[in-house]
Structure 1
Amino acid sequence: MCEFFAHRGPGRPGIAVFLNAGDPPLATLPDLAAMLDESQVDCLELAVPFPGSATDGPVVRASARRALAGGATFRRVLDAVSSVRPGLRRLRIALLTDWSHTVRGTAPADFAAAVRDAGCDGLLLHGVPPRLRAAHYEAVRRAELPLVTTCYAVSGPDAVAEAADLASAYVYLVAHYGRSGTAAALDRDRLGAVLGTLRSTASAPLAVGFGIRTADDIARVEALGADAAVVGSAGVARIERAGLLGRDPVKELHSFVQGLRAPVRTRTGRPEEGIETHDRP
């Protein structure tokens, strides 16, 4: 079983980058994944695109529409992952799938086996009806496919406990309620308290997402107790920008992810103590 965020440490939290498979086109995935691997990104959270997500903002929704228009189906996404996974050294791929659009109608065991056999390192199941969760989670466990679970900073104790108990890849803690790409203020006290609760029971790493755009944001959630940060809309926006300007999307995203490992500055302009600033080769 592949460990997620294995290279994290003090001053070097893990980083997961979210993208919709097919935006940029799937033919770009080999170069894109190689770039993320070489840039010491720990995880590519790769979504099989689906329309009308209630939790995504306009940037991610537009990305999903582009990917779907380009023909990014579940089978094509798995084939693309299968072709790139053997060449990766450190980058893990966590596949995000929506139950209604992608999973419904497929036997849980068959679905989990297909994701595993394609070479995905983990799976995040989105929107599974409560009555079917046990069957799907059991199928994922039997397939020995690490599971990403989610909860919110405002989730109740039972939801937080379930996320901690079931996670075998990582727990994705959503920093605030709303749609991705929104800029709600970070409630540090609440987020820190939930991270502390998760830390006491979870065996998997803890990753925080929503509103994470910069190296400073990543350092803040690490200081609250997170092992990693998930960067979504900000990176997806750079892909959109590359398309609008006719630029290479891999180079555009490379420039963005380099900034995520930039030295964190204090108000005096000096590097923050305890933050590693020379971790790229």
Structure 2
Amino acid sequence: MGSSDTTPRAVFPGRTPGVPRIALFLNAGDPDDEEMVEIVRLMDAARVDCLELAVPFPDSVTDGPVVRASATRALDRGTDLPRVLRLVERLRATTTHTRIVLLVDWSHSLRPTDLARSVDEIRGSGADGLLVHGLPPMLRGRTTELCLAAGLPTVQTCYHGTSTGETFAAAARDATAYVYLVARYGRSGTPGGDALASVRSSVDRLRELTDAPVAVGFGISTADDVRRVTDAGADAAVVGTACVRAVEQGIGDHDVVGSFAAFLERLLPAPQPALPRP
């Protein structure tokens, strides 16, 4: 049983070159809360570093069909921000290693609320970080200030190959949880070029601008992909669509937890053999 303290914890504390760290994405509400608790217990036992937990929202322009279908299932269950914050409290009380970063869409979940109050409530739930999806540029400064005042670390996003130097600098400046470097522009889970082959240039660029950890996502679904991200110098790999697909397959097989456990076994890099003693 984890601590009742809800102080945010470093998502990727320290940096150990060559050691892969992993953040996994799921929509809250898909699977249901009881199954989610069991899945996150599995993550914690497997030493998965971070769960990027999305408050579901409709019609995402950045997500492919697998993640969008998951969001629809979650919304059909009535999943909203208050319910997700209650879930975060449960997850925080049952984990010791896995950190929880909340992804919240501006238009669907935050715009109808008092922003300062929502930031305080997210912080109070025990979330270790916040990523605001679709935040209007004019509100970025205020949102960052509110999160700093509340002691809520933030994730900032930029895109390999397409973001401007100004965007890279802003992400590096404002990130207090980590910088999420999107490996390629497009929808999650859809075919694209091998961006991981060239992503090191953007990782190095961010290293010059910030001490915040750098996590790379999009197009990552296997243990080999995770190793390639680590080899590119990033602190962590973010796995999204493959996680959601494991849940979807489990729903079809009537064994969501078992399906996700099998997925974790395939995903987590095999432990390296110990070096012989001299």
The verdict on a shared fold, with TM-score over 0.5 as the criterion, is yes
Q: Once the 2 structures are TM-superposed, how far is the Cα of residue 59 of structure 1 from its aligned partner?
A: 0.2
Cα pair 1:173 1:206 within 8 Å, conserved: yes
Question: Partner residue of 2:272?
Answer: 276
TM-score by length of 2: 0.91
Aligned partners of 2:196 and 2:95: how far apart in 1? 35
Equivalent of residue 22 in structure 2, options 9, 15, 21:
15
Aligned AA (2:165)? P
Q: Once the 2 structures are TM-superposed, how far is the Cα of residue 187 of structure 1 from its aligned partner?
A: 3.2
Equivalent of residue 182 in structure 1, options 190, 201, 204:
190
Question: Partner residue of 2:267?
Answer: 260
Aligned partners of 2:132 and 2:77: how far apart in 1? 23
Question: Partner residue of 1:212?
Answer: 220
Which stretch shows the higher mean deviation, 29-38 or 4-13? 4-13
Q: Once the 2 structures are TM-superposed, how far is the Cα of residue 34 of structure 1 from its aligned partner?
A: 1.0
1:231 pairs with 2:239:
yes
Gaps of 5+ in 2: 1-7
Question: Partner residue of 1:45?
Answer: 52
CA displacement, residues 25-47 of structure 1 (integer Å, 9 cap, x when unaligned)? 12322212111100111000000
Aligned AA (1:259)? R
Equivalent of residue 244 in structure 1, options 252, 265, 275:
252
Q: How do 1:25-44 residues align onto structure 2 when only pairs under 5 Å count?
A: 25-44=32-51
Aligned partners of 1:203 and 1:7: how far apart in 2? 10
Question: Partner residue of 1:94?
Answer: 101
Aligned partners of 1:157 and 1:7: how far apart in 2? 26
Aligned AA (2:219)? G
Which stretch shows the higher mean deviation, 66-75 or 92-101? 66-75
TM-score by length of 1: 0.90
Which stretch shows the higher mean deviation, 33-42 or 183-192? 183-192
Aligned AA (1:57)? G
Instruction: Call closer, same or farther: CA 1:7–1:159 in 2, change over 3 Å.
Output: closer
Aligned partners of 1:72 and 1:144: how far apart in 2? 26
1:76 pairs with 2:83:
yes
After TM superposition, which residue ranges in structure 1, 4 or more long, deviate above 4 angstroms? none
1:159 pairs with 2:167:
yes
Identical aligned pairs, as a percentage?
47
Which stretch shows the higher mean deviation, 177-186 or 61-70? 177-186
Equivalent of residue 126 in structure 2, options 98, 119, 132:
119
Question: Partner residue of 1:193?
Answer: 201
Aligned AA (1:225)? G
Partner-residue secondary structure (3-state), 1:124:
strand
Partner-residue secondary structure (3-state), 1:6:
coil
CA displacement, residues 44-95 of structure 1 (integer Å, 9 cap, x when unaligned)? 0000000000000000000000000011111111011112202211100000
Instruction: Call closer, same or farther: CA 1:144–1:57 in 2, change over 3 Å.
Output: same
Cα pair 1:26 1:77 within 8 Å, conserved: no
Partner-residue secondary structure (3-state), 1:46:
strand
**How many equivalent residue pairs?**
266
CA RMSD of aligned residues (A): 1.6
Aligned partners of 1:104 and 1:137: how far apart in 2? 15
Aligned partners of 1:277 and 1:144: how far apart in 2? 40
Question: Partner residue of 2:10?
Answer: 3
Q: Once the 2 structures are TM-superposed, how far is the Cα of residue 114 of structure 1 from its aligned partner?
A: 0.5
Cα pair 2:20 2:237 within 8 Å, conserved: yes
Q: Once the 2 structures are TM-superposed, how far is the Cα of residue 161 of structure 1 from its aligned partner?
A: 0.8
Q: Once the 2 structures are TM-superposed, how far is the Cα of residue 9 of structure 1 from its aligned partner?
A: 2.6
